[in-house]
Structure 1
Amino acid sequence: MLCAQGPAPSGASLEAFAELGIDMVPGTGLLAAAIPGATLGWLTFLKDHGTFSLKEVLDAAIGYAKNGYPATSKVVEYIGRMEPLFTMHWGPSAEVYLPNGEVPAVGQLLTNPALAQTYQRLVDVESEALGSGATRDAALEAVIDEWTGGFVAEAIDEFAKTSWRDSTGEDHRGFITKDDMGKWRPHYEAPVTAEFGGVTVCKVGFWSQGPVFLQQLSLLQGMDVVPGTADGIHKILEATKLAFADRDAWYGDVSDVPAAALLSADYADERRTLIGENASHEIRPGSPDGREPRLPRLETKADFDPTGLSGVGEPNAVAAALDSGPKANGEARTDTVHVDVVDRWGNMVSAMPSGGWLHSSPVIPELGFPLGTRLQMAWLEEDLPNVLAPGKRPRTTLSPTLIFKDGEPIMAFGSPGGDQQDQWQLHFLLNHLLGGMNLQEAIDAPAFHSTHFPSSFFPHEHQLGVVLIEERIGESVIEGLESRGHIVGKAGSWEIGRMCAVSRDPETGVLKAAANARGMQGYAVGR
């Protein structure tokens, strides 16, 4: 696993936020900006495992940024929501996303000359190094050095000194400095694994959300789970609630996570007894190794009204709970990208880049991109594993997956979706392994997720006992869930989920791919 999640800057401390009178990391603006890591991650991956030059990799991106790309309907919708903030407070973003001062029309070409220039300057560094006789690796190292200590780091350092509006409703400067940029690099870690259904499931470590997927599988091990039925969905939801309660009590970028205990068969056996016939409406973390759990301060949303008439302060409660797009102040649940790739030789990648959203923070004029706001996932309460600290990674929701069988990689999959990532992925795998569905059928099956546990995103609210489910699952299933005490919100027939997947049969070499049709934002491509 290549970790490209940047940590908190050296100045981002509990004391610094206390001095500002802030008790929760805001969802937008520069206070929530971690050291940017996605580009460094791709550069590291390209150097260590690729064959293309940076010029070959970036030529298309430079062309789109320089010459224009058509604005899709979703991009136009998001820009429309952000127009007041861009116009009043984030001028550099308005320059990029509001051509002629107006929200673009669907299909209108948008350009980003500053981003094109940033990419081109990085390519020029590579070309100059190669022209001086440097090896490919040395040339890419020179690009990495330019990012971490050259014009990119200098522009970020200068930009962070200016105060910008954030979701507190006030203006604040950021913590990131050129020194922070220079000290951090992506690194490799061993994955965390579990066995289920004859395969080995590989996830990101306990500093992330990833192992919650493995805990759900462990809880469901040996249970009679039939995907698509009220009983099967009930068992999945209850296992999900228990696993995510452990996430919030125990996961974080710390050395004392009781990892072995959390993934042990004995612990799963003990926790499985809590899965009863009726839906739980409590947050119930366990006590691995006899340790006492501690949860952060939780904010429960008003009672959820599944009829959509009231409940979460919106005209339609289901629509509000499903909506991941930004509010007018930029707060949003997700804007992540996922990609899975497999080639004829069996090389397989599952990648989850995220951050630097157009609604996360203002565009840096000299660079053409904004900073991400992943620090909003860290808490400002002491003695929590996910408490904010300088140099510490926030507990990310980013959670790619690789599957092995008999030591051979056979599948890679993942999904955008914040806290839903390790729910939708779980349902996909269960549909495939237990339901006998192929990749596309497993993605297309009626989807659902729980909002029972606190969101990883500011302001971390939750809705006890609530499950959102696509209405085409059928009234009999919905009634079966309600009879068990679940509070069910019916979503549209094709609204939930963002999955994609690839697979390879080691014996035949046959490659397969599938992608989510919902929202027309996912595609499966073979060549």
Structure 2
Amino acid sequence: MSFTTRPELRGSFGAVSSTHWLASAAGMGVLERGGNAFDAAVASGFVLQVVEPHLNGPGGEVPILACRPGEDAPTVICGQGPSPAAATLERLRGLGLELVPGTGHLAACVPGAFGAWLTLLRDWGTATLREVLSPAIGYARHGHALTPRIPAAIASVRELFETHWPSSAAVYLPGGRVPQPGKLFRNPVLADFYETLLREAETAGSREAQIERALDYWYRGPVAEAMGRFSEQEVWDVSGRRHRGLLTADDLARWTPPVEAPLSADFGEYRVFKCGPWSQGPAMLQALNILQGLDVAAMDPLGPDFVHAVAETTKLVMADRDAWYGDSAPVPMAALLDPAYAAARRALIGERASLELRPGSPDGRAPVLPPQRLTGTISQADMRGGGEPTMSRELPTTLDGQGEPVTTRGGAHRGDTCHVDAADRWGNMVAATPSGGWFQSSPVIPGLGFGLTVRGQMFWLQDGLASSMAPGVRPRTTLTPSFAFRDGKPYLAFGTPGGDQQEQWSLLLFLHHARHGMNLQEAIDAPAFHTDGLLSSFWPREVAPGSLTLENRFPAGTAEALRDRGHTVTVAEGWTEGRLCAVGREPDGEDVQIKAAANPRGMQGYAVAR
């Protein structure tokens, strides 16, 4: 075993891995008090909303993969809410828009995170709503130490808050000042709201009845009404104008979280499971089908052959993602996952880097790509908002120079994502990737203490695409938890933040572990890379043909060899690619060991196990 930044944790009781140490500790606390992995994940998820508000919030979304012992596949709980009933192409184009703005009200969809977490708690968990909400309420009421990225993100939008979003300034600029790193930060408005919600829920009888009452309070009661009223107000957004939103209380009342079967692909002794094509999850399955025939195990994980193979595969599957995935039209998923289709796509990988977007033709259907905007064609005046950090040319402006780029050179205010995995001694496992409701992108709703998701920016305002804007459909999200069985048994739950890079970094973890023999921590610590040779999922929807970003821990010869093959290589700092988490269950004779690992990049992800 090579040196790692921390050990691969091993135990037999349980494990939680997440992108923030406080969330992991809260989840483990639930396990220690007798809760199961699903209870732990819910508690961790609510804490993440408080301690990483620049990366997710109560008004965001979360896809979840949950698996009980003995099941032959995990279950998908889709916490990606749909577009409002008023979200038509004609409505948006009538405002003179070519893209859905990445900030403000127009991109708001139904906030699905609360519904998905409570569905998991009600149907898979054992804890009460108060037990899983109490840690989050405690941190909102009494404070949590701010990681440096949060004040940096607040500083980047201070003028926006003070000029246009006063409700956000009231929460995030206490005393009119940007809070300091390492100091306790409180959100008493959110704490008060959650206490009110709990009092209402606890007027019901059983645990399940209380959860139902809370769901009604949120989606068919005062919370939905507050969101609808706030959406009617004009709010400044990245277009440089003020717009009213489209979301109404009726949109929330009509929605319940879909519970679905996952998609899967076999990779040797493994079967990997992902959410459906309303996410980018199937891209990893397509990539595994292509890589089946390239003998990845024989490739040096730090060598140019491996990087080239994975990067070129990524470009092919992401081109398919952008041509075929979405919720606005039928997706030929069976054809996209067919081994014969994978073989045809594999044959397109040559010795040179491709500089084109090359979607395939499953079932002989002609692909249609959205319009392309090359990196560098967006004016500086346009760069004032967006989603997750997806383009390698963005520079971090965090106070410590590390972590997610929260502001670009032109001033784009970015959000990102979180992740949590949990496993328990009974064999339950769960992976979830919460995001949305970033304070940089949506103003705080008075009386609630959080803003709305802007995931609707992932819709296209062109007719005839799988992800065209339409009423009541899900935006094709980047959020993509992962789950793997080994030899027919639940084995691994994993994932990462990172927008369009989520699938890329999760694929690297899996390949390093499953084919290069690395343990989970080694696989997470290993030097990583990504390509931006794909259509960005976030405003302003750019593409960077041929781009390839490597951490500087790759050998210099690898970067040079890749340049010789035609890649436009950027060498980034050594610990900047990915924020991966993972938990696993490994047979040990008649016993089972639970293992866990977490990402050291950014110095806040943490795993706990015993």
The TM tier, using the shorter chain, reads: over 0.9
Deviations 1:342-367 (A, max 9, x none): 11111000001111111121000110
CA contact (8 A) 1:167 1:330 kept: no
The Cα of 1:255 is off from its aligned counterpart by: 5.3
Kindly indicate whether residue 96 of structure 2 is the aligned counterpart of residue 21 of structure 1: yes
CA contact (8 A) 2:329 2:467 kept: no
CA contact (8 A) 1:82 1:329 kept: no
The Cα of 1:407 is off from its aligned counterpart by: 2.7
2:609 match: 526
Kindly indicate whether residue 456 of structure 2 is the aligned counterpart of residue 382 of structure 1: no
1:268 match: 342
2:200 match: 125
Kindly indicate whether residue 440 of structure 2 is the aligned counterpart of residue 366 of structure 1: no
Instruction: Tell me which of the two structures has the higher relative contact order, counting C-alpha pairs closer than 8 angstroms and 6 or more residues apart.
Output: 2
Deviations 1:189-244 (A, max 9, x none): 10000000310000000121000001111111121222221011101111110000
CA contact (8 A) 2:156 2:413 kept: no
Letter in 2 for 1:388: M
1:48 match: 123
CA contact (8 A) 1:207 1:254 kept: no
SS of the aligned residue for 2:592 comes to: coil
Letter in 2 for 1:472: R
1:189 match: 260
Deviations 1:456-498 (A, max 9, x none): 0001101100000001101011111111111100000111111
Deviations 1:425-451 (A, max 9, x none): 001111111111000000111010000
How do 1:385-424 and structure 2 match up within 5 A? 385-424=466-505
Letter in 1 for 2:598: A
Deviations 1:143-183 (A, max 9, x none): 11111111101111111111111110111111111111111
Deviations 1:109-151 (A, max 9, x none): 222121111111121122211xxxx222122111111111111
The structure-2 alpha-carbon separation of the partners of 1:317 and 1:353, relative to structure 1 and needing over 3 Å to count, comes to closer
2:272 aligned residue (191, 201, 209): 201
Deviations 1:359-392 (A, max 9, x none): 1210001100000100001101000000011100
1:310 match: none
RMSD of aligned C-alpha atoms? 1.8
1:514 match: 597
How do 1:68-217 and structure 2 match up within 5 A? 68-129=143-204, 134-217=205-288
Letter in 2 for 1:422: E
Letter in 2 for 1:235: A
Rounded Cα–Cα distance in structure 2 between residues aligned with 1:334 and 1:94: 17
SS of the aligned residue for 1:335 comes to: coil
1:306 match: none
The Cα of 1:324 is off from its aligned counterpart by: 3.4
SS of the aligned residue for 2:602 comes to: helix
The structure-2 alpha-carbon separation of the partners of 1:319 and 1:150, relative to structure 1 and needing over 3 Å to count, comes to closer
Letter in 2 for 1:66: R
The Cα of 1:318 is off from its aligned counterpart by: 4.6
Letter in 2 for 1:169: G
SS of the aligned residue for 1:504 comes to: strand
The Cα of 1:333 is off from its aligned counterpart by: 4.9
The Cα of 1:330 is off from its aligned counterpart by: 8.0
1:284 match: 358
Kindly indicate whether residue 431 of structure 2 is the aligned counterpart of residue 357 of structure 1: no
CA contact (8 A) 2:270 2:484 kept: yes
Rounded Cα–Cα distance in structure 2 between residues aligned with 1:262 and 1:253: 16
Rounded Cα–Cα distance in structure 2 between residues aligned with 1:319 and 1:4: 29
2:568 match: 487
CA contact (8 A) 2:394 2:407 kept: no
Letter in 2 for 1:240: T
TM-score (norm 2): 0.82
CA contact (8 A) 2:423 2:594 kept: yes
Letter in 2 for 1:253: D
Rounded Cα–Cα distance in structure 1 between residues aligned with 2:223 and 2:410: 27
CA contact (8 A) 2:98 2:461 kept: yes
Letter in 1 for 2:575: W
Letter in 2 for 1:170: R
Rounded Cα–Cα distance in structure 1 between residues aligned with 2:86 and 2:506: 36
Rounded Cα–Cα distance in structure 1 between residues aligned with 2:334 and 2:392: 39
Rounded Cα–Cα distance in structure 2 between residues aligned with 1:332 and 1:92: 18
CA contact (8 A) 1:197 1:433 kept: no
Letter in 2 for 1:267: Y
1:9 aligned residue (84, 105, 115): 84
Rounded Cα–Cα distance in structure 1 between residues aligned with 2:517 and 2:552: 22
Kindly indicate whether residue 333 of structure 2 is the aligned counterpart of residue 250 of structure 1: no
The Cα of 1:325 is off from its aligned counterpart by: 1.2
CA contact (8 A) 2:83 2:471 kept: yes
Rounded Cα–Cα distance in structure 2 between residues aligned with 1:434 and 1:297: 37
CA contact (8 A) 2:415 2:440 kept: no
TM-score (norm 1): 0.94
SS of the aligned residue for 2:202 comes to: helix
Letter in 2 for 1:91: P
CA contact (8 A) 1:82 1:327 kept: no
Rounded Cα–Cα distance in structure 2 between residues aligned with 1:387 and 1:473: 39
Rounded Cα–Cα distance in structure 2 between residues aligned with 1:163 and 1:35: 18
Rounded Cα–Cα distance in structure 1 between residues aligned with 2:314 and 2:182: 40
Letter in 2 for 1:287: S
Deviations 1:264-314 (A, max 9, x none): 0100111111000110001000011000000000101139xxxxxxxxxxx
The structure-2 alpha-carbon separation of the partners of 1:48 and 1:156, relative to structure 1 and needing over 3 Å to count, comes to same
How do 1:294-305 and structure 2 match up within 5 A? 294-302=368-376
Letter in 2 for 1:414: G
Tell me, which stretches of 5 or more residues in structure 2 are unaligned? 1-75, 378-390, 397-402
The Cα of 1:62 is off from its aligned counterpart by: 1.2
2:314 match: 240
CA contact (8 A) 1:333 1:457 kept: no
The percent of aligned pairs where both chains have the same amino acid is: 52
1:454 aligned residue (535, 541, 560): 535
